[in-house]
Each structure stands twice: as structure tokens, then as C-alpha cells.
Amino acid sequence: MKQLFTLGTSAVYALLFTGCTTCGGDVEPCVSAPISITSLEKEYGCTNTPRQLSVNLPQTYTVIRSQAEFDQQVTGDCHPQVDFTKYDLVIGNKGSSSGSSTITYAYQRECETGQSFLKVIFQAGMTNDAPILTYHALVPKLAPAETVRVEVEMKSGQ
């Protein structure tokens, strides 16, 4: 019995001091790479959201994590039942001196900070029909306390 105890204790110590720290070799370096996102247009058939959606924010953004928050904070022609088990909605407003002809998005997790980052680029249009534009992105579900940093860039028409 003493030998079995000694053998068990030795095995535990061996695992503690030589256990698998990387389990399979070298740790892969973190690479900041694009992460796929979607939109209310693609997932739920909404149209013209920069002009048709509204959120009461003073040229800033918020992360909406539930249907109740969505129902309370977002107004507009398209008001779907969003799958908040799969997505969180990053939504915000930006003032514009002209309307926008296109909006592009880039979303990624930054290796250095571990934080998610959304870049929104408005390409200015020729009209001034929407001085406040609404942008949004359905991002993969975030951890409960996780935030997203948003940067909005306005590019002039060409």
C-alpha cells in the first residue's frame, strides 16, 4: 500500500513540474486579423439604415446586447427580432456635412490590447440629405464585460 501511495504521489509531482504548458508545441503568435461581421440589412432585410435607423446618442456609439435594449434604444422603419445569442449590435451616430454614398466596416481583435476594434468609413456623397448618419454592425457575441473600440472616418467625395 505504501508503494502505491508513493507511486501516486510521484506521478502527481511529475505532472506538476513537467506538465504540458503549451500542449502541442510552440504557442502561435497572435495576429490581428479581420473578423467577419454582418448587418441588419444582410441578416434581416433592412434597407437604407444610415438614414432609416435612429439611436439617441450624441455622435457616439453603444453596444446593444439584448432585444430589450434594442427595442428601447433603436427606432426606425426596420425593427427585427435580432438573434442576440449570436450577435451584439454596435450602433452609433456621426454628423456629416454631406450625405454618405457608402459605408465600409473593418472589425478585428487587437493582439496588443486584446480589445475588439471596429473601423467605420463613410464615403461622402454629393447631397446633404442626412446630416446625422447612423452606422451599425452585428458583431460576434462579446463576453459580458467586453467592449468594442470604434473609430469613425469621414472621407470626402472624389
Q: Is residue 88 part of a domain?
A: yes
Instruction: Give the range of the structural domain holding residue 100, as residue numbers without chain letter.
Output: 30-155
pLDDT of residue 126: 64
CA distance to 3, 72, 143, per residue, from 9 (Å): 10, 59, 39
pLDDT of residue 11: 44
Q: Is residue 23 part of a domain?
A: no
Give residue 90's Cα distance to chain centre. 6
pLDDT band of residue 158 (cuts 50, 70, 90) is low
In total, how many domains does the chain have?
Answer: 1
Q: Is residue 19 part of a domain?
A: no
Tens of pLDDT, residue by residue over 105-154, are 999 988 888 889 999 998 876 665 657 788 999 999 999 989 999 999 88
Contacts of 94 (CB under 8 A, 6+ apart): 59, 120, 122, 132, 133, 135, 152, 154
Q: Is residue 127 part of a domain?
A: yes
Asked whether the beta carbons of 110 and 117 are under 8 A apart, the reply is yes
Angstrom distance (rounded) from CA 28 to CA 124: 40
Q: Is residue 24 part of a domain?
A: no
Angstrom distance (rounded) from CA 69 to CA 144: 14
- DSSP-derived secondary structure letter, 119: E
Q: Which of 8-12, 83-87, 127-131, 154-158 has the highest mean pLDDT?
A: 83-87
Tens of pLDDT, residue by residue over 26-72, are 566 777 788 999 999 999 999 888 877 888 888 889 999 999 999 99
pLDDT of residue 14: 42
pTM of the predicted structure, to 2 decimals: 0.75
Of 131, 116, 124, 60, nearest in space to 91 by CA: 60
For the chain, the farthest-separated pair of C-alpha atoms sits apart, in whole angstroms, at 87
Q: Is residue 148 part of a domain?
A: yes
Cα angle: 15, vertex 21, 23; to 5 degrees? 100
